[in-house]
Structure 1
Amino acid sequence: MLGVLALCAVPASAQTPAAAAATAKTHRFDLPAASLAETLRAISRVSGVTITFDSESVAGKRAPAVSGTLMLSDALAMAIGDNDVEARATATGYWVAVANKLDTVFVVARRDQAETSFKADRSDTATRSGSDLMEIPGGVTIITSKVLETQQMTSIQNALANVSGMSFKQSPQGSPTFGIRGFGETALMVNGVADNSAAMSNVFGVERIEVLKGPQAILTGAGSLGGGVNVVIKKPQAAPIRSMMLQYGSHGDLTVAGDVAGAVTEDRRLSMRVIAAHSQARDNAAGFDGRKDDSFLPQLRWKDQTTDLIVGASYGKQHGPVPLYTFGRRDGVIMPVPELMLGRPEDGFETRQRRAFYQLEQVLSPSVTLISRLNRSLQDTEVHVRSPAGLGYATGAANDAPNGSVLFFAGRSEQNQNSTSGDHYLRILGSTGQVTHKLSLGFDHTETRLHQPQWSGPNTTVKVYPPATGAPFGDLRADASTLSNILDQKATQYDTFLQDLMNWGDWSLLANLRSTRYANESTVLIPPATVSVSPQKVVRRTTPGVGLVYSLTPEVSLYTNYAEGFVPSTLPSCDGGFVPPKSTRNREVGAKFDLFDSKLSVTTAAYELAQSNTTVYYRPGNCYNVRDAQLARGVEVDAQGQVTRGLNALFNYTFTTAKDVGNPAANYTGLPKHKMSLWATYDLQDAAWRGLGFGVGVSASSNSKGTTDARYMLYVPGQAQIDASVFYNNGPWSTTFGVKNIGNRLLYATTAGSSFIPVMERRNYMLTIKRDFK
């Protein structure tokens, strides 16, 4: 048998002590016949030894039943059987691949799975253990760069619409914000490290977007009530990449991007990657100056048997124009889209990010690995947008009779934020009897400094219906010239954590505990000479979490979990001291399926997310009390991968309900009860049509409340959109032509108030041409 020969052919001197010890220990296996990928995962789970494999090498291969009390090497040989793959011992476990890919475990010689398919199998972020998603007791959705490429995505925010449980809100004073499971406080990370600029990452440099459902205090401490988003950037690799991309679409939207990677040294242990992109559009649907986006991402990587070190930097600069929007009346009628440009062409949002980072994974001993990650991020933002106060009404007029005028506030702000964040821990492998452990023990830290001046000016009342003539809006930077205030703030967070993933047969238990120390201090200057100083206030919090997974079969896992999240508060409590942190408690059950020879993954979840310690102001005492508030319940379904030969799909569905347990009259905006999306691509299989394919997308949602004011009946209506594309791949060339909102429908994005109802893009086009150079 080829598998036995492959294992026997590895000389003892080539095996690490960890691999030798694992091979010598026996385990009880009772695995039915399944796909080779699923059987390898099951062997890894039972033995507690990391077994990684090349997805392409094991695709379509089957493994016979593996049964008996066996050493790991014997179980691997039995599973591999006559398949043309081999197992190679590594410093931390085994690597399984076809012969010509065995050495790629020591150097990065190929693209990550996320760059080549709709499906990704593992997440380092979710448990800090590099575990397979089937072993993680919680909902995790990964949007791969292959999906982003086929959808011709231009931003992280748009890509997140592919994920169940996501909600979006937009205000006139900022880019769209998103929440998870009804809560807007979302942990943002880059490569597993806290970074508030993560959502501004250029999409062409993104390898994957990991969305972690439920509170993520164990990963980021404070600031996560509903979930977390981790943006993983593309890594250097030794296999050469030389590609150029040209993209052109509606509104003169032009993008030029390049991606260069390869080995620097002859032994291929030192590799590099440089990704650069420039985007610029003529205008947008509202007539404002179009978007601009420039990015530059250079990295170096050293990778051998025991060390994996990535050092890099990134630069990004963007201009976001004022979006197209309209207004809602008090009786719930949505007004027509204004014919008047609601500002000057140059108005919008300016951002600039600079980041330096490293990632280190160092094997210290057969059972101990050090993981250390650090980000230094600087972000500058300027908001120069006039904020509408909503439709005006004549005195005594009926609710449905606005006078057609809108009051606009002249405000401008700048925000200079710099932060340093790190995550450092030891991953320790061990066992107690028949229970294996992947223990993560470490600390993380974040320090953020914020400097934010704000300017104001005279307000402007403009006739929007019918549109005013002339130029009703002046230069906002000149108009908003009165300094209102300057905020200087410093926040620090230090955490220690313990996380243990325990495996016993078909059972996996994930237990974690985190201790957080959060400190905040601020100074506010109000001209001409008023200074308000808030001295340092310290909040401490301990958060537990636990999750259980039962592997019903190699293809089906059942799970349940409990997790907590919190947002610190330094407001004075009526009981003395500070009010306790706003908190959430997540209870969840679900099932995961790994189908069609591990080509398609499906995750289903049902959850209850309860919020407590919402503040209520008590005027007589100038202090705050707390109470329970939002209770969200929902069901989520996510599926992604290859359904059949040539057909790849990404699907999500969300059912959500939210109520305020202390105030039944409260409204939660931007939360449709039902939401779904489907994106599928098909490569024609007939030889005569080889290389040609098409994509189809459908997204839909039910109506959602459009204002928190219980007196008004404003709802954003339910809606649906259809997108389509056709593509052709021929050798080094690939071409995609896509059409979004193919029905040219008038659609609205979710909103939080009647004064700003975003209008989505009508029918629009994008042509992408890509050339790979060998």
Structure 2
Amino acid sequence: MKFSPLFLAVSAVLSATTVSANTAANATDNLANHSSEHSSLKEIEVIQVKGSYFNSYKVDNANGALRGNISLLETAQSVTVIPDTVINEQLATTLGEVLANDASLTAGSKQRNREVFNLRGFTLSSSNGYLRDGHQHWSHYQQPIETLASIEVIKGPSSILYGQSGPGGLVNMVTKKPTANSIFNLGLDVDQEGSSRLTLDAGGAITEDESLRYRANLVKQDVTYQREYQNGEQRERERFLGALVIDYDVNEDLLVRFHYDKTNDKAGLDTGAWLDDKGNIIGDDKTIRDMSWAFTDITVENYGVDVNYILTDSWQVKLGYNSQTFERQRFESAPKKPSGFVQGDVYTSKPYDRFDDWQFTTSFIDFTGEFSLTGVEHQLLIGANYLDYYYGQLKVKGESFAYSAGQAEPTRPDISYTTDDSLYTSEYNYYGIYIQDLITINQEWQVMIGGRYDKQSKEGADNESLLPKAGVLYHPSDSTTFYASYSEGFEPQSSETINDDEDLNYGMEIDAMTSQQYELGAKWQLFDDRLLLTSALFDITKTGVLVTEYYQDDSYRTSQVGEQRHKGFEMAAQGAVTDKLFVMASMINLDASYESDEKYTGKTPIDAPEWSASIWSRYELTENLAINAGAFYQGERFADQDNTIVKDAYTRIDLGATYKITLNNTDINLRLNVKNLFDTGYLAGGGTSNVTVGDGISYRLAVQLAF
């Protein structure tokens, strides 16, 4: 075998540094990603096209929705796919910046250098709300989006295929894959605060026969935030990412894929701003209540293998395995907001040093087949998946101290989690067996039916469930679909009782959470199938919700409310309006409330606005010059469970422009983005003591080189 010098060079860098890359993706890259999947193991001519972005705003398939390469028009479910074209145009550096393009997702708190999201008003859990290439993914950190080809937002309960998951849906992160054609992209972007991000995205064939291919990413990012500590220091962050994917075509029928990535992410802590009883920020909107020495330091590693084997012309089997290790040190100053606090008052901090160790091991096997039975076409999926979960924690508390604005910052306590000799652990595993059949009765009608048996084994919290899913699709034309569907979800609690001995309801028995959704929808492809329009009506009921109330004396009580019901209507448009104008737009009207509970009936959950909308667009002025414009609207939201504190509605306007130059076969893209053009002041996600303050106007300049 002859190995590519570029591959050897990148491999050497990976072995020395574990740092990875931001992909500066373009139309060539998107074509290559599709051609690298196993469906193209047979020899296919790769055509490289330069120039316009084509219709790279519109994606026709979502692998995560039905665990297969099935058209969105044949999916009886609302799904949004955000392509890497949009990610790159927005110079996005966090998952939150990307998910803002789907109005059904709203941001929750961003405290402690991680992001929380609500989908259709329900919070996405770190343990079961996210997938990566179909694997359940522990997402208690900011995701490395530079490695992603697209993000699929799969709406509604999806437990039939993925096991434990919430009623709002799932976010499936689809990673970039090796390519046969050579890719070498360098990128550098900076902002007005001095933040910088250096990225490399490389790929291509390792061997002359192209049977061995790779994709490698490197990223080094340094961030300076607009908010600052009370001693005048600005909050900072350092991140390194390294990722490598290798594809090997063993023969025409067998593809083996290996992947590895590592993230190091260290940042100062910002647990959010504090609000008064009228929803106003107490003090300056840039002030961080945490001490400047508080930090979080995260190391995440993923490695695994995927196998795709074509058994016959009609059947194939897919196997996947991923091991994820997540280690985090969090040194907290832990400020506590007193009742009735006003600027200048004294507040107490309760510092501690904590080490967390999460280990996620996932695997699956899927058999898929297409066949005809009594004149009816079937696309059948039979599979099973498994998760093994481990969590360990060490924690040492320091002495509490009082502080008020204007005082000298207290020194960092001399404590270390390494002195804790009482390791707390939690373990469980679960597996599920599922079946799904997409039945094509004739050209107009399709039926989707499925079911799953799921079992969790955990000391004190064993659970099992049997879940159904069904859908009917009507296609009056090749470009139109109307559908109706029903699905269920299941989420075991972490224990059978409330086991926090500081909780006022300590020892109370709690039940597993279940959910049901009814959905009606329609999908149309317009303008010669260049623009996809979608709409959906949904009604979701969740039972067994846990709500924690905090009192003035720092005590708290967790209760299990009866029901949480979210009803709503969504619309979206994605694709090309003309040869030069591309759009990605969405809106949602949401009616979310608690039901059948003595205290919370009629109340709306935190961060569940009635109206939300977003639009991002691209207009190509010339072959070399394009402009972008976006608007992101969030309606009024409650900041507390009692619905007495309201966060105002806001609209954020963003602008961008790209100019392309070609020199000596090198494409140079110069990009300028302006975020929050009108310097709108707003509050994003979070409650009264951890709200995220929206950044003011910011500028980001990028240079991207494609060789």
Fold shared per TM-score above 0.5 = yes
- For 1:665 and 1:557, how far apart are their aligned partners in 2? 35
1:540 and 2:464 aligned: yes
Preserved CA contact (<8 Å) 1:655 1:674: yes
- For 1:696 and 1:424, how far apart are their aligned partners in 2? 43
**Structure 1: which amino acid aligns with 2:393?**
Q
Task: Indicate the SS of the match to 1:157.
Answer: helix
- When structure 1 is superposed on structure 2, of 178-187 and 504-513 the one drifting more is 178-187
Task: Indicate the SS of the match to 2:462.
Answer: strand
Task: Indicate the SS of the match to 1:746.
Answer: coil
Preserved CA contact (<8 Å) 2:226 2:286: no
- For 1:455 and 1:585, how far apart are their aligned partners in 2? 42
Show the counterpart of 1:636. Answer: 570
Preserved CA contact (<8 Å) 1:236 1:300: yes
Show the counterpart of 1:653. Answer: 587
Show the counterpart of 2:433. Answer: 496
Aligned residue pairs total 642
2:72 aligned to which of 133, 139, 146: 133
Show the counterpart of 1:749. Answer: 684
**Structure 2: which amino acid aligns with 1:298?**
L
- For 1:493 and 1:316, how far apart are their aligned partners in 2? 27
1:364 and 2:311 aligned: yes
Preserved CA contact (<8 Å) 2:353 2:416: no
- For 2:578 and 2:55, how far apart are their aligned partners in 1? 16
Show the counterpart of 2:492. Answer: 568
Task: Indicate the SS of the match to 2:337.
Answer: strand
**Structure 2: which amino acid aligns with 1:651?**
A
- Rg bigger for which structure? 1
Task: Indicate the SS of the match to 2:448.
Answer: strand
1:292 and 2:238 aligned: yes
Preserved CA contact (<8 Å) 1:188 1:198: no
**Structure 1: which amino acid aligns with 2:221?**
S
- For 2:53 and 2:359, how far apart are their aligned partners in 1? 30
Identity of paired residues, percent? 20
Q: How does 1:223-238 map to 2 (within 5 A)?
A: 223-238=165-180
- For 1:552 and 1:207, how far apart are their aligned partners in 2? 32
* Structure with greater helix share of residues: 1
- For 2:392 and 2:417, how far apart are their aligned partners in 1? 18
2:696 aligned to which of 753, 762, 768: 762
Task: Indicate the SS of the match to 2:187.
Answer: strand
Task: Indicate the SS of the match to 1:147.
Answer: helix
1:118 and 2:57 aligned: yes
- For 1:173 and 1:734, how far apart are their aligned partners in 2? 34
Preserved CA contact (<8 Å) 2:274 2:691: yes
Describe the shift of the 1:624–1:278 C-alpha distance in structure 2 as closer, same or farther (beyond 3 A). Answer: closer
Preserved CA contact (<8 Å) 1:388 1:755: no
1:442 aligned to which of 367, 383, 407: 383
- When structure 1 is superposed on structure 2, of 156-165 and 169-178 the one drifting more is 169-178
Show the counterpart of 1:163. Answer: 102
Show the counterpart of 1:452. Answer: 393
1:220 and 2:162 aligned: yes
- For 2:94 and 2:110, how far apart are their aligned partners in 1? 18
Show the counterpart of 1:252. Answer: 194
Give per-residue Cα distances to partners, 1:579-617, cap 9 Å, x unaligned.
542111011011111222222212211101001234699
Give per-residue Cα distances to partners, 1:473-530, cap 9 Å, x unaligned.
3315649998596420111011111111111221121111111110123xxxxxxxxx
Alpha-carbon distance, 1:317 to partner: 1.0
Preserved CA contact (<8 Å) 1:329 1:402: no
Give the structure-2-normalised TM-score: 0.84
- For 1:714 and 1:256, how far apart are their aligned partners in 2? 41
- For 1:198 and 1:512, how far apart are their aligned partners in 2? 31
Show the counterpart of 1:314. Answer: 261
Report the aligned-residue RMSD.
Answer: 3.2
**Structure 2: which amino acid aligns with 1:737?**
L
Preserved CA contact (<8 Å) 2:613 2:633: yes
- For 1:290 and 1:379, how far apart are their aligned partners in 2? 21
Show the counterpart of 1:733. Answer: 668
- For 1:736 and 1:693, how far apart are their aligned partners in 2? 10
Describe the shift of the 1:322–1:577 C-alpha distance in structure 2 as closer, same or farther (beyond 3 A). Answer: closer
Preserved CA contact (<8 Å) 2:113 2:269: no
Show the counterpart of 1:426. Answer: 367
Alpha-carbon distance, 1:391 to partner: 4.4
Show the counterpart of 2:618. Answer: 681
Give per-residue Cα distances to partners, 1:18-57, cap 9 Å, x unaligned.
xxxxxxxxxxxxxxxxxxxxxxxxxxxxxxxxxxxxx99x
Alpha-carbon distance, 1:666 to partner: 3.7
**Structure 2: which amino acid aligns with 1:190?**
R
Task: Indicate the SS of the match to 1:252.
Answer: coil
Show the counterpart of 1:604. Answer: 535
Alpha-carbon distance, 1:197 to partner: 3.3
Task: Indicate the SS of the match to 2:86.
Answer: helix
Alpha-carbon distance, 1:387 to partner: 3.1
**Structure 1: which amino acid aligns with 2:101?**
N
Task: Indicate the SS of the match to 2:167.
Answer: coil
- For 2:561 and 2:288, how far apart are their aligned partners in 1? 44
Show the counterpart of 1:278. Answer: 220
Show the counterpart of 1:388. Answer: 335
1:714 and 2:648 aligned: no
Give per-residue Cα distances to partners, 1:309-333, cap 9 Å, x unaligned.
2111111111233348432223444
Show the counterpart of 1:701. Answer: 634
- For 1:759 and 1:403, how far apart are their aligned partners in 2? 20
- For 2:485 and 2:592, how far apart are their aligned partners in 1? 20
Describe the shift of the 1:194–1:479 C-alpha distance in structure 2 as closer, same or farther (beyond 3 A). Answer: closer
Show the counterpart of 2:609. Answer: 672
- For 2:206 and 2:286, how far apart are their aligned partners in 1? 56
Give per-residue Cα distances to partners, 1:603-634, cap 9 Å, x unaligned.
211101001234699xxxxx999763110011
- For 2:203 and 2:265, how far apart are their aligned partners in 1? 25
Preserved CA contact (<8 Å) 1:556 1:592: yes
- For 1:386 and 1:484, how far apart are their aligned partners in 2? 22
**Structure 2: which amino acid aligns with 1:571?**
E
- For 1:645 and 1:238, how far apart are their aligned partners in 2? 29
Preserved CA contact (<8 Å) 1:172 1:388: no
- For 1:322 and 1:671, how far apart are their aligned partners in 2? 26
Show the counterpart of 2:445. Answer: 507
Task: Indicate the SS of the match to 1:730.
Answer: strand
Show the counterpart of 1:723. Answer: 654
Describe the shift of the 1:332–1:765 C-alpha distance in structure 2 as closer, same or farther (beyond 3 A). Answer: closer
Task: Indicate the SS of the match to 1:149.
Answer: helix
- For 1:258 and 1:593, how far apart are their aligned partners in 2? 38
- For 2:47 and 2:430, how far apart are their aligned partners in 1? 34
Show the counterpart of 2:277. Answer: 330
